[in-house]
Amino acid sequence: MTTSSVPATAERPLLLRAAGGEQTPHPPVWFMRQAGRSLPEYRRLRSGGSMLAACRDPDLVTEITLQPVRRHHVDAAILFSDIVVPLVAVGLPIEIVAGTGPVIAEPIRTAADVNRLRRLTPDDVPDIGQAVRQLVAELGDVPLIGFAGAPYTLASYLIEGGPSRDHARTKALMHSAPGVWHALLDVLADISTTFLRVQIEAGAAAVQLFDSWAGGLSAADYTEFVLPHSQRVFAELGHPEVPRIHFGVGTGELLDLMRSAGADVVGVDWRTPLDVAAARIGGQTPVQGNLDPALLLADWPVIETEVRRIVAEGRRAPGHIFNLGHGVLPDTDPEVLTRVVELVHAS
């Protein structure tokens, strides 16, 4: 029995209530890539320095992570980082090339390559824990979402040597050398787990595991070659009180498998309506999404109609966190994002 007349849940952040399957008065809202190139204050801060250096500077990470919270009044911050940060932290020679993405000079393709990889320890990323602690102190009631790439997506960068449209080498390796594949994914699952756990133990209130490229896989390939490793990340993370969000773009055929990896919330892109997605994953799991980020470049009445539709579809799901169906595009007008937050909050 509580001494307060207000229900305890009403004092918890909206994000955590929706992630716990509660129907909130309006959905909490945040945006994938809300910190980044769409914001002039970000572009000013980043001019000159490298992306990877920025991700390892606690003060810069803190400031960049806070920018969209201050500007848009979103209901969650997400740690500003890059999925290759923990890979660089274990000594892999990766660079982020502007206009291309992460590039690794010597791709990982053999058992010998995998054997040379080492696992991540918290001591490799003291700056990440520090950034999270600073952020939690600054954010007050706004929850911070921790961030990591999932083993498959990390593997695809390491094997291809950079971004790829078809992930042909990755798929060929998983099928033709399954021993090498599973050994690689085992190390990467460990790295993802440690990277997320560092963030949780420094105060992150939720985590999102990004399997950005999983949508390129058939369900059969996902089940055999990816799911066990993503499952292990969530299982070994500990801290079951911290909600796990799991997302990949183009994963309409994989949503229930991604839920079964251990997700408390399944992220959905714009291709699958939220109510359809919620039914597809069994009707018990909250969903996150799913405004097409391209539509933020349309006129406001178009966006307003889309936001209202998505909020209505989300009401038919057991918990809804409003988000885009993929990351904010760099050309997005930040004022439009602010208006979307206001509209979701007023709905």
Give the residue carrying structure tokens 């991604």: 258
Q: Given the complex with a copy of itself, which of 52 and 294 has the nearer CB atom? A: 294
Active site residues: 33, 37, 46, 82, 157
Task: Write down the least CB distance from residue 341 to a copy of itself, Å.
Answer: 20
* Nearer Cβ to a copy of itself (128/254): 254
73 or 309: CB nearest a copy of itself: 309
Question: Any residues with CB less than 8 A from the CB of 222 and at least 6 apart, and which?
Answer: 214, 254, 257
Element (H, E) at 44: helix 40-46
Is 105 or 219 the residue whose CB approaches a copy of itself more closely?
219
Minimum distance between the CB of residue 181 and a copy of itself, rounded to whole angstroms? 11
User: Rounded to the nearest 5°, which phi and psi values hold at 320?
Assistant: -140, 125
Shortest distance (Å) from residue 121 CB to a copy of itself: 34
Sites of contact with a copy of itself (CB under 8 A): 166-172, 175-176, 215-221, 250, 252-253, 270-273, 292-295, 297-299, 302, 326, 329, 331
Q: Write down the least CB distance from residue 298 to a copy of itself, Å.
A: 4
Strand, helix or coil for residue 321: strand
Closest listed residue to residue 320, CA positions, set 21, 37, 32: 21
Instruction: Tell me whether residue 21 or residue 250 sits nearer to a copy of itself (CB atom).
Output: 250
Q: Are strands 101-104 and 94-97 parallel, antiparallel or unpaired?
A: antiparallel
Using an 8 Å Cβ cutoff, are 149 and 212 in contact? yes
Q: How far apart are the first and last CA of the chain?
A: 32
Query: Which candidate, 259, 124, 277, 282, places its Cα nearest to that of 194?
Result: 124
- Least Cβ distance, residue 273 to a copy of itself (angstroms): 8
119-132: b (≥16 Cβ within 10 Å) or e: ebeeebbebbbbbb
- Write out the DSSP string of 170-212: HHHHHHH-HHHHHHHHHHHHHHHHHHHHHHHHTT-SEEEEE-T
